[in-house]
Amino acid sequence: MKVIVFGGDGFCGWPTTLRLAKAGHKVMVVDNLSRRAIDDELSSGSLTKIANIRDRVAAAQEKIGDVEFCYLDIAAQPSELRDLIKDFLPDAVVQFAEQRAAPYSMIGDRERRYTVDNNIVGTHNICSAIVDVKPDTHIIHLGTMGVYGYSKKFGKIPEGYLGINITQTKEDTEILYPANPGSVYHMTKCLDQLIFQFYNKNWGLKITDLHQGIVWGVETPETKLDTRLVNRFDYDGIYGTVLNRFISQAANNVPLTVYGTGGQSRAFIHISDTAECIKLSVENDVFDNSRVRIFNQVSEVKSVAGLAEVLRKIYNADVQFVDNPRKELAENELEVSNSGLRSLGFEPVMLDEALIDDVRFVADQSKVNFNKNNVLTSPKW
Ligand code: NAD
Ligand code: USQ
């Protein structure tokens, strides 16, 4: 198949690109390298030393398969985006190209507006171009578990749609799960959902929205094939996500930064499974298109304090409870369905000591890039 990976230079996009190319698909990576620019803006960066995009793509072509690169801003260059789709004629596009850090989106006015403008306009531009240029293209979008909020208020979290009974008519029906974002970033993912509902209803676009949990890990079998293919690894207070932060903190003898009591429960998935789930979604593209297909892309639920305890035990790490910079529930329970991707053959890799050790090895190897000043940099909201 021919697949465009928007945001293919990023943490999830790059391993996915390699997984798709390895499976024999022809992949076009589209990226404006804005994430690398934000590294400079925040005086932060990947713990691993990532190759520049030219060297990455050259290595992918040598070692893996058919990968090309196009430098394009999908929010700011809609006509170039249309031309690209017209020329490449993809069977599927994967949309990773959004500003994805909740803390970044809560820094201030500039970052709030950038996150909304970039994410909503970029995603809408893709839908709008596809309607005119190649309406049978399958759109696969990376959403987030954060669209649901994180609670058991309505029981186990279903895949996108909630079964309800209407009091007035006594009718049973399904509605899009009530959106409950916790940051401007998460709010953009809720707005993306409405764009998809409308483009599916009005033009019948074929759309899969994947509500993904927190991704952890760094390497996949493909990124290990050459040093130029190594994936990025964020550990800072703005882009670093909780488990990868804890692993890099343990490797650098910095106390684990548990926000609040650590009673927050979240869903997690390993980076190699992210790539696998996207591949499954791309390859299983025959489905009932009368509504948007929504899957929860998650493997397991863990609490922040539980994760800290695992690392404390294995690595003798210290734990530091810091004031939570975020406005969120101090404690929550969470249960999530992932039956959709499982029905396509997804067999999740669970968080275990051997795997954490693998990631810690990378964090250990990359000590030279670890800057303690970048650990507690989250804005407060
Ligand atoms: P990332 O920031 O590492 O990658 C995003 C990529 O998109 C970057 O390479 C960036 O340069 C590019 N990009 C952003 N705006 C663009 C634009 N306008 N035009 C072209 N390229 C643009 O993020 P990630 O961790 O790889 O996340 C990818 C997607 O997956 C995001 O949409 C995110 O919301 C979702 N997601 C990520 C996680 C996670 O834990 N990392 C969890 C759930 C969902
Ligand atoms: N946390 C800590 N200590 C830290 C960092 C975070 O206790 O050092 C806590 C946070 O308070 C929060 C939880 O860990 O309760 C998760 O925070 P996170 O930064 O790992 O994840 P989050 O901000 O939710 O965002 C990440 C990705 C985002 C994705 C989301 C999936 O950056 O792109 O959408 O995970 S989910 O959380 O399932 O909505």
CATH code at 158?
3.40.50.720
Ligand 2 center–CA 277 separation, angstroms: 20
Asked if residue 142 has its Cβ within 6 Å of ligand 1, the reply is yes
**Ligand nearest to the Cα of 147, by number:** 2
Catalytic residues: 144, 185, 189
Is there an atom of ligand 2 within 6 Å of 144 CB? yes
Render each residue's pLDDT in the chain as its tens digit; 381 residues: 999 999 999 999 999 999 999 999 999 999 999 999 999 999 999 999 999 999 999 999 999 999 999 999 999 999 999 999 999 999 999 999 999 999 999 999 999 999 999 999 999 999 999 999 999 999 999 999 999 999 999 999 999 999 999 999 999 999 999 999 999 999 999 999 999 999 999 999 999 999 999 999 999 999 999 999 999 999 999 999 999 999 999 999 999 999 999 999 999 999 999 999 999 999 999 999 999 999 999 999 999 999 999 999 999 999 999 999 999 999 999 999 999 999 999 999 999 887 888 888 888 888 899 999 999 999 999
Domain count, the chain: 1
Q: How far is the CA of 303 from the centre of ligand 1 (A)?
A: 24
Using a 6 Å cutoff on CB, does residue 211 contact ligand 2? no
Neighbours of 154 (CB within 10 A): 14
Distance, in Å, from the CA atom of 82 to the CA atom of 84, rounded to the nearest integer, reads 5
Please choose, from the candidates 138, 6, 133, 134, the residue with its C-alpha nearest in 3D space to the C-alpha of residue 73.
6
For the Cβ of 106 lying below 6 angstroms from any atom of ligand 2, the answer is: no
Give domain status of residue 124, yes or no: yes
Q: Does residue 379 fall inside a structural domain? A: no
CB 334 within 8 A of CB 152: yes
Has residue 381 been placed in a domain?
Answer: no
**β strands within 14-129, DSSP E:** 26-31, 67-71, 92-95
- Asked whether the beta carbons of 106 and 126 are under 8 A apart, the reply is no
Range of the domain at 283: 2-374
Given the structure tokens 């759109």, which residue do they identify?
139
Instruction: Spell out the residues 6+ positions from residue 170 whose beta carbon is closer than 8 angstroms to its own.
Output: none
Residue 362 lies in a domain: yes
Radius of gyration of the chain (CA): 20
pTM over 0.75: yes
Q: Is residue 157 part of a domain?
A: yes
**What number does the ligand 2 atom closest to the CA of 298 have?**
38
Distance 114 CA to ligand 1 centre (A): 14
